[in-house]
Amino acid sequence: MFYQCSIDFSQTPIVIHGTPDWKQGVNREENVLFYDDKSGDNVPFDVIQKQAFRPFSQKVPDHIQQSPVSTIITWLTFRISNTLLPKSQKRYSK
């Protein structure tokens, strides 16, 4: 997860109330931002953190987009917030 990435959009956290009892996957596309690295190089993490991330809903499927490189690395960032923390972890919340 990134803590200091360049984000052009407000990022809403994924809010979980205690331990979820999900029976199937949950679409969290609206809570995720992405950056497609098409450089073809091993880009350092500190460089990736400074890139402009966009809402995941704007991502073009990889099989549709054309790229000058054969590998596209997709970086994701998201925030999670749990409203019901155990008592042992309450000291960290404000």
DSSP string, 15-77: EE-SS---SS----GGG-EEEEE-S-S---HHHHTTSEEEEGGGPPPTTTS--SSS--EEEEE
Q: In this model, does residue 94 exceed pLDDT 80?
A: no
Between these two residues, 8 and 47, which has the higher pLDDT value?
47
Cα–Cα dist 76/61, whole Å: 14
Residue 9 DSSP SS3: coil
- Pick the closest to residue 55 from 86, 22, 31, 85 (CA basis): 31
Note the pLDDT tens digit of each residue in 44-72.
999 999 999 999 888 888 778 777 778 88
